[in-house]
Amino acid sequence: MGEAYGAREALRVKGRWENARANEKVLMAWYVYIAWSFAGAFLANAIPHTVQGICGNRFQTPFASPRGVGESSAIVNVIWGLANFAIGGVLLHVFFPPELPPPLRLCAAALIGALAMALWLANHFGKVRSSAPHP
């Protein structure tokens, strides 16, 4: 009995090692990294709109006039923020890898997308807010 248990244990360990080794060699398709980058961008964009909307503040959205410069109501911002959360969540759900935790490269792609969107938003809103007349 001890011999059978040892053989099963060796197969189990060997199988785990082979699976881990096989996972290292498998690269994700390029479009998965792009999808995670866009997911990070959508999730980063969702934060300011949702927060400003929940606080009851008017804030720039693509639906205002002029686009991205004019301010929309708090309700429009909450809806736009939650739509961004939903799009980012769907992208992550559709392109989520089968293993947990996700590979570091995918997480890095999402962070790069979030950072790119955050830097662009900071630049854009900084220009819009500094040129707007103050009451």
Output the pLDDT for position 126.
87
pTM for this prediction: 0.72
> Per DSSP, what are the bridge partners of residue 115?
none
- Cα 72 from Cα 61, distance rounded (Å): 6
- Measure the CA–CA gap between 44 and 91, rounded to whole angstroms: 14
Q: Is residue 110 part of a domain?
A: yes
Per the CB < 8 A criterion, the answer to whether 42 and 81 are in contact is no
Whether 127 maps to a domain, the answer reads yes
In a domain, 6, yes or no: no
The boundaries of the domain holding residue 125 are: 28-131
Q: What is the pLDDT of residues 61-105, one digit of tens each?
A: 888 888 878 888 999 999 999 999 999 999 999 998 888 888 898
Confidence band of 21 (pLDDT split at 50, 70, 90):
very low
Q: How far, in Å, CA of 54 to CA of 56, rounded?
A: 5
Bridge partners, 72 (sequence order): 59
10 part of a folded domain: no
CA distance 86 to 76: 15
Q: How many domains does the chain have?
A: 1
Q: What does the pLDDT read at residue 2? A: 52
> Collapsing DSSP states into helix, strand and coil, what is residue 11?
helix
Q: How far is CA 73 from CA 47, 70, 77, 108, in A?
A: 16, 10, 6, 34
